[in-house]
Amino acid sequence: MAGSRADGGGRPRGSREPPPACPGPGPGPGPGPAASPRALWAELQALLPGTREGWRLECGERVESGVRLVLQQAADLLYAEGAGLAPSPSPSPSRSRACLRLSNVLLDYAWEKLNVGTWRDVHEDWRRVYAYGCAFKALCLCRAGAAWPEALRTCDLGLLMGASVWDNVLARMVGVLQQHLPRPERAPAGDAKEPLPKRIRKSSESPEVPPIKAEERILQLHCPSLEHFRDNFLLPQKPVILEGIIDHWPCMKKWSVEYIRQVAGSRTVPVEVGSRYTDEEWSQTLMSVDDFISQYIENENHTGYLAQHQLFEQIPELKRDISIPDYCCLGRGEEDSITVNAWFGPAGTVSPLHQDPQQNFLAQVMGQKYLRLCSPVQSEKLYPHEGHLLHNTSQVDVEDPDLVKFPRFKTAAFQACTLSPGQVLFIPAKYWHYVRALDTSFSVSFWWS
C-alpha cells in the first residue's frame, strides 16, 4: 500500500497513515453448497509445518520479549499436546478461545505500531508481527469450523498491512479459503465495451468534457514497433496513445462491474473516500469489493475510489486477464520491478494535477477518462504545493483555475485526451497529469523505470 500515488493519479499515499480497518467482516459470498470444515482444515494443515518445532517465528530486534512470548503461546495453542496441528473442529474449545484471544492481542498491539508516524517509516518487524497475528486468527476461526468469510477478510488484512511470512502463507490460505467458500453461479462474461447497466452511475454531477483543440490532442498510434516507440516517444519523453496493444487481454471481453463483484466481491480492499485526495474531507477505509460497488458504484450520493492498489497480486484470477505491455522491456529494470495497480471507481473521481518519478502506461479497460498533460518544463507555472507531502501535486484546480491567485497557470501549455477502452496512454516520468473519470471506470497502470 505504500508508494507514491499515480494513475493517471499520483496520490502521495506513501506519506500517509494506513487506512483504518472497518469494523466487522464484509459480506460473504452468496448462497451455495456448504463446504466441509474438516476438508478445509486438512488443506490448511498441508500449508503449515507438521509439528510445532517446525514453525519458526522470525522477529526482529524491535519486537519486545513480551510480544515474542505471546507469539510463541499462540503457536503452541494451535498444536495439540505433543502432536501436530489440532484437528478440526477443535477438541478443546478453551484452547481455541485462548488462541483467538492472543491473536487479537497481537493484532491490536501491532496495529498501534503500524499507525505511529508515516506508513513508509513502519519497520517490517511490526508488519511481520501483524501478519503472524492475522495467520493465527484466521487459523483459529477455521479450526472452529465457522466464520470463514471473517477468516478470508483477516487474511486480506494481513496481505494489505503485513509482510510476507512463511513463504507467503496468507496468500496460500486465501487460495484454500476461496476454494471452499460458496460462490454464486457466475453470469456469462459480457463485453466490457457494452453499455453498463442503467443503475451504474454516470457523470451527471461532473462537468462536461472541455473541447480539445487540434493542437492539444495527444497523438494516437496503432501498434508501433518497439524501435519506433523508443526513438520517438520514450527517449524524447513525449506522451502518446497506443491502440491495438491490449485488444488480446481477456479482461477486454470478460470484465464488467458484475464480473468483478463475482470474482472479488468478498475480498477486502483499501478505498479512498472523496472525489480527490487534496480535499479536506478525503479519507481512506477498508471494505469488501461488494460493499464498495454497492456504496460507490451504484450509489450516486457518494464518491469512493479503489485506487493505486496492487489488486492483481491479491487476486490472481484477475491478474490472469492482463499482461505486461511489451514496451516495458525497453526499461532498465526486470519485470518483477514493474508496479501494476488497479484504479476502479465511479464517474467524478479526480486525480489532481501531479507528477510521478516513473514511466507510466495507463491502460483503459472500462469506461472513459479525461486527461490533461503538461511537460515538466512548465512546472513553475503549475504552482506545486510547498510542503513535502504534496510536493508532486499542483495547487491549481485544472478545470476551474483561480487565475488571480495563480496567474502563471494561464500560460501553461497542455495536451489533452479522452481515454477510451482498449487505449493505453504513455505518461513520461515527471510529466504532470490530471485525470477525471467520465463514467464508471477501470484502469490498469504500469509504473516502470
DSSP secondary-structure letter at 183?
-
Q: Hey, is 42 helix, strand or coil?
A: helix
What does the pLDDT average to over 336-347? Answer: 94
**Confidence bin at 362 (pLDDT 50/70/90):** very high
**Confidence bin at 388 (pLDDT 50/70/90):** low
The Cα 401–Cα 378 span in angstroms is 16
Please tell me the predicted confidence (pLDDT) of residue 1. Answer: 36
* Sheet order of strands, 369-374 included: 350-354, 432-437, 369-374, 415-419
Q: Which residue from 190, 241, 238, 178 is spatially nearest to 371, judged by alpha carbons? A: 241
Please tell me the predicted confidence (pLDDT) of residue 200. Answer: 45
The Cα 313–Cα 200 span in angstroms is 27
31-35, 110-114, 159-163, 261-265: least confidently modelled range? 31-35
**Confidence bin at 301 (pLDDT 50/70/90):** low
78-82, 199-203, 264-268, 363-367: least confidently modelled range? 199-203
3-state helix, strand, coil in the chain (%, to 5): 35, 20, 45
Yes or no: say if 367 and 255 are a contact pair by the CB < 8 Å rule: no
**Confidence bin at 144 (pLDDT 50/70/90):** confident
More confident residue, 18 or 4: 18
What does the pLDDT average to over 168-195? Answer: 69
* Whether the predicted pLDDT of 161 surpasses 70: yes
* Whether the predicted pLDDT of 72 surpasses 70: yes
Please tell me the predicted confidence (pLDDT) of residue 445. Answer: 97
* Whether the predicted pLDDT of 81 surpasses 60: no
More confident residue, 235 or 175: 235
- pLDDT tens digit sequence for 427-449: 999 999 999 999 999 999 999 99
Yes or no: say if 442 and 367 are a contact pair by the CB < 8 Å rule: yes
- pLDDT tens digit sequence for 222-267: 999 999 999 999 999 999 999 999 999 999 999 999 999 999 999 9
Please tell me the predicted confidence (pLDDT) of residue 208. Answer: 79
Please tell me the predicted confidence (pLDDT) of residue 178. Answer: 85
Please tell me the predicted confidence (pLDDT) of residue 221. Answer: 98
Chain mean pLDDT for the chain: 84
The Cα 437–Cα 429 span in angstroms is 22
- pLDDT tens digit sequence for 28-60: 444 444 457 788 888 988 898 877 777 788 888
Please tell me the predicted confidence (pLDDT) of residue 91. Answer: 59
Question: Pairing mode, if any, of strands 350-354 and 359-366?
Answer: unpaired
* Whether the predicted pLDDT of 13 surpasses 50: no
Distances (CA, A) of 43 to 166, 176, 258: 16, 7, 30
What share of the chain has pLDDT > 90, as a percent?
59
Please tell me the predicted confidence (pLDDT) of residue 97. Answer: 86
